[in-house]
Structure 1
Amino acid sequence: MRLVETLIYSLRPGTGAEFHRLVREESLPIHNAVDMDIVDFGQSEHHPDAYYLMRAYDNLDHLNSSQQALYSSDIWRKGPRPAILERIVVSLKTMAWMSEAAIEETRLCGVRRRAMN
């Protein structure tokens, strides 16, 4: 079992496509550099200015240490952070434990969905 964090964002009108580009091209490489496991991400099917990001952790300590490493880094603070934050109107977070199989199936569905777009 791993701890999965799901972030849900309501974005400023008309910013969903640019937000997705920022996440894909600038934010995710930094996440990967601090050993965060990105399970899935993207614009919501119901609205282009709604977005989600799912990240998996071994436990709460892993979540806290990797988020500390990410959010305190200069590459994050001086990189995509300002552009990302200025597009977010509301941010919600939830966490749940998921099996490795469920995480991998979710990851695979996301990869397939992005390949179709």
Structure 2
Amino acid sequence: MMENKIVEILQYTLRKGTGVEFHNIMAEISVPLHNLHGIDVVSYGNSLHDPDCYCLIRSFENEESMSSVLAAFYASSGWINGPREEIISRIENSLKTILNLPQKGIDGLRKP
């Protein structure tokens, strides 16, 4: 039997008019950097209802793994000297939700 994983859903309200730039930074710099750190980016992109709303979904083995992997990621020079400022400067508000889901549910959320 397959064990559940931890899924983190981040929802961002971006500064007006920055959604396209934000997505380009995510696609070209941030997501590849996540991948280099072994972070499973399940899905990401602008909301269908508003291009200045954004969602990032990441999956982790367990809560301890999520904490340690994200701590290492956000402390890395790749993040600090890379897309950090460009991303943070465009976020007006953010919400975080953590779920415990089976792999089948995670795969259903996965961006094709």
TM-score, normalisation: structure 1: 0.91
Q: Matched residues in 1 for 2:65 and 2:23: separation?
A: 26
Aligned to 1:105: 108
Aligned to 1:42: 45
> Alpha-carbon deviations, 1:5-63, whole Å to 9, x = none?
00000000000000000001000111011111001000001100000000001101110
- 2:106 is the counterpart of 1:86: no
State the 4+ residue runs in structure 1 displaced beyond 6 angstroms: none
What is the match of residue 31 of structure 1? 34
Q: How many Å separate the matches in 1 of 2:43 and 2:17?
A: 22
Aligned residue among 46, 60, 63 for 2:63:
60
1:12 aligns with 2:15: yes
Q: Give the CA RMSD over aligned residues.
A: 0.6
How far apart, CA to CA, are the structure 2 residues paired with 1:17 and 1:8? 16
- Partner SS state of residue 103, structure 1: helix
The structure carrying a bigger helix percent of its residues is 1
TM-score normalised by L of structure 2: 0.95
Is there any run of 5+ residues in structure 2 with no aligned partner, and where? none
Unaligned runs of 5+ in 1: 112-117
Query: Alignment length, in residue pairs?
Result: 109
CA distance in 2, matches of 1:94, 1:104: 18
